Structure 1
């Protein structure tokens, strides 16, 4: 059985939900603590949402320098699938695995609502979807506005690294309505909305989010695809 690590930092609050999503997908969820020096032989990693270290300094800034993130960064750069959700997306940007940053929402308001997302790219975490498919998942964040300089945004667009886009004007003011992006090889993905809260119709808006977790199981042992194959 594939083993997917789920990290817990002080202040993390969605690790239990992420682990549940991993189990729903058919994998073993392995708990990783922020002070762990290694990844315990997992096949993939989920960096879940919450308010790691109370969002002091900047959201995700302290967590990105936790001991566990050293091996996560190394493994992610070597091709291990890594998914960052909400605060996890912030952490991956702060750690340098993904470009850009997440800043305070437009209007300085915390947004908590269901949102529509359009799948824009085939990655290790989206292979269960078709490009152009629309899904519905919850969004809950105060610092979810994705920003980057124009050169970075243009490169993400040109390289097919915009993974999710809001189907309506981004409620947080994210540039180009970007809800999620990937690394160049498509194996590291970060998104602001919460797919782990949309895996069961009894507890969320539906089951659309489960596709992210089932997707990675088919890619764990596969080599990173060339960019040409993802275009």
Structure 2
């Protein structure tokens, strides 16, 4: 029996159809939309929280979505060790829900940034990166105004010591320079996982990098890793 993937839709989500297309049409996986008022995730094997502007980003990005009816089920799903991927606004929602540590600030230059960028994979020890060699550079687009990841020094050290930093912003050659860190994130962080390694939050959009026609298919490596993990689970 094949795995079933769920893409959550909040009022204001605008990357939900991109995520569905990547999973259903490019990866050929059984995929369904989940409305923010749904609470039954019993037949879902993998959850994707997409990007966008849930609830108009009022208060803070992800602050209201965190209280949607589905989120209690998402928390239970994640705490059972089942895989959850939050992309862009999805990452922000995971932070607001306490499923990942840290917080998001406005981009350092206080500008919305939409462009292709490069990220370096720091670890293959997650179900999302099991097929990606550490040090590999992926070209993946970004589109956010509040992607400046921050945390305190103690938590940063824990992320570093526990190998929880999954992606860092870098240049094409894989160097984590200040220039490559366009939003000002601490330690060039572009994505992190939890200590159980079943939750990944990342600001770049791998679902928009699954077809060479659109500039890159590097994002497929993340979804291939997930689907292979689900196949052997």
TM-score by length of 1: 0.93
| Matching of residues 81-120 of structure 1 within 5 Å | 81-120=83-122
* Distance in 2 (alpha carbons) for counterparts of 1:183 and 1:42: 20
* Distance in 1 (alpha carbons) for counterparts of 2:33 and 2:60: 25
SS in structure 1 of the partner of residue 109 of structure 2:
helix
Unaligned runs of 5+ in 1: 224-231
Aligned length: 222
User: Which of the residues 184, 195, 206 maps onto 1:195?
Assistant: 206
* Distance in 2 (alpha carbons) for counterparts of 1:107 and 1:126: 30
What corresponds to 2:162 in structure 1? 159
Q: Comparing 122-131 with 188-197, which one deviates more in the overlay?
A: 122-131
What corresponds to 1:229 in structure 2? none
Please state if 1:139 is matched with 2:142.
yes
- Runs of 4+ residues over 4 Å off in structure 1: none
User: Which of the residues 213, 216, 226 maps onto 1:206?
Assistant: 216
1:26 CA displacement: 2.9
User: Which of the residues 64, 75, 78 maps onto 2:77?
Assistant: 75
* Distance in 2 (alpha carbons) for counterparts of 1:149 and 1:77: 24
What corresponds to 1:226 in structure 2? none
Contact conserved, 1:100 with 1:147, CA < 8 A, in 2?
yes
TM-score by length of 2: 0.92
What corresponds to 1:185 in structure 2? 196
* Distance in 1 (alpha carbons) for counterparts of 2:123 and 2:68: 30
